[in-house]
Amino acid sequence: MRQALSGIVSKSASPLKTIMILAMAMTFVVADAASSLAAKSAAIVVDAKTGKVLYSANADGRRYPASLTKMMTLYLTFEAMAKGKISRNSPVVFSAHASAEAPTKLGVKPGGSVTVETAILSIVTKSANDSATALGEMIGGNETNFARMMTAKARQLGMNGTVFRNANGLPDPGQFTTARDMATLGIALREHFPQYYGYFAQRSFLYGRQRINGHNRLLGRIKGVDGIKTGYTRASGFNLVSSVNDGNRRLVAVVMGGTSGGSRDNQMAGLINTYLPRASTRGGGDLVAKADSNPIKALAKVLLPKHDAPTPDEKPVAVAEADTAAADDAAADDATTAVADDATVAQGDSEDEDTAEAEAPKLVVPAKKVKTVIVSAPKVATAQVVAAYTEPAPAAVDPVNTASVPSGWAIQVASSPNQSEAQAFLDATTKQAPKVLADASGFTVAFDKGGVTYYRARFGGFGSKDAAWKACTALKKKKIECYAVQQ
């Protein structure tokens, strides 16, 4: 980069010209960084009884979460409810900041309020951005503080590839996650808060005199689907986390970067139909340890304030000013509505998959006064506590083109310049040899050859070279070409 610039910026160049050239260079750098999180497909299917990954494609690549962010907002809300710090009927007051959030939203005016339950229902159905922000401010004192709490909770749950910047998922270049992390969060929501998990199955609710319908079209369409959350922005594409429970088997599946709501839903339906029969009917205990068991919390209790706004967990050590990145919305649901007209494009990105209406119903509930005491956190803390709130280190590999690669031995069955073809080959191979691949996990991994990106179709999870060779030999007897490779 330095050499390139030195060739462009000569010693005789004027200061103004130099500044302009450097500004253009920085623009390209920022654009290149943003492109690494562009909407590209990622998916994972996890057996929610055993934790086994049944399918994986780019599961560890960084993606924008969009409204999947609200899953963590609800996790912290459920945690506060379980601890008795708030209740279903507690008033959630909407600040000017919350009320000003872009659609989709309830449209509560500044100073107005709704109950915690109404806020929850508006998030799981309408994906209301204003409700998410209002809950975050109520629980965390302000949204920036709440975002730090969200990231800290992610670390405690083992979501090491996620950083949250706001409560609703509206675009922020510093907010990202992975398909694997979203699956972890989906499993944790059911395991840790079964008493509240039923909210995710809500397909509609009454708000005043109006019935508000939800975005999750798989509810009622696919047997056993009982949640969880949809998400969309232009940068993220169409995202979906689904939980399935047929009575004997349970799955949590994630699809990110869909090109339309319909194609995303169809992909999810295909994953469910393919992998639910392969899930275990037996399982042992919770898969995601409750954050309460994390030793960081014990330290935080000593070092962080004990009297503050109602919070599900302690406040972060450092409280920074809110980031000023603003993002407006334009609604979209499928390929037709995703291509907005000039007016909506000017407004920016959206989380609304059902309607292009810019405004939500304007029912206002009279505000109730809520006393909030904000106490500054101590300036000195141990490295362990600080680490609980830090962001993950930048990825050492390309986060978009590097797939989730299981360790150990794998067998490769195909290679294609088209990722969907590689995934289709995995599915076809699994159907052709289900017994041979019963304990294997299919995944794709990208590589470049001659400037062209190809996708290897592999099955991983073999404990030894002999095991991989044995499986490959069995596949060859079924006329399926393959070879063993160590990851």
Q: Which residues are catalytic?
A: 67, 70, 127
Beta carbons within 8 Å of 240's beta carbon, 6+ residues apart: 216, 218, 229, 230, 231, 254, 255, 256, 258, 264, 265, 268
Rounded CA gap, 237 and 288, in Å? 28
**Residue 63 per-residue DSSP state:** B
Rounded CA gap, 178 and 122, in Å? 25
The helix (run of H) or strand (run of E) holding residue 252 is strand 250-258
Are the C-beta atoms of residues 468 and 410 closer than 8 Å to each other? yes
35: exposed, middle or buried (Cβ count in 10 Å: 0-12, 13-18, 19+): exposed
Structure tokens at 7: 């060739």
Rounded CA gap, 206 and 233, in Å? 26
DSSP strand E in 58-169: where? 91-93, 113-115
**Chain centroid offset of residue 408 CA:** 27
Are the C-beta atoms of residues 93 and 118 closer than 8 Å to each other? no
Are the C-beta atoms of residues 114 and 92 closer than 8 Å to each other? yes
Query: What's the angle, vertex CA 217, arms to CA 70 and CA 264, rounded to 5?
Result: 80
Rounded CA gap, 100 and 407, in Å? 47
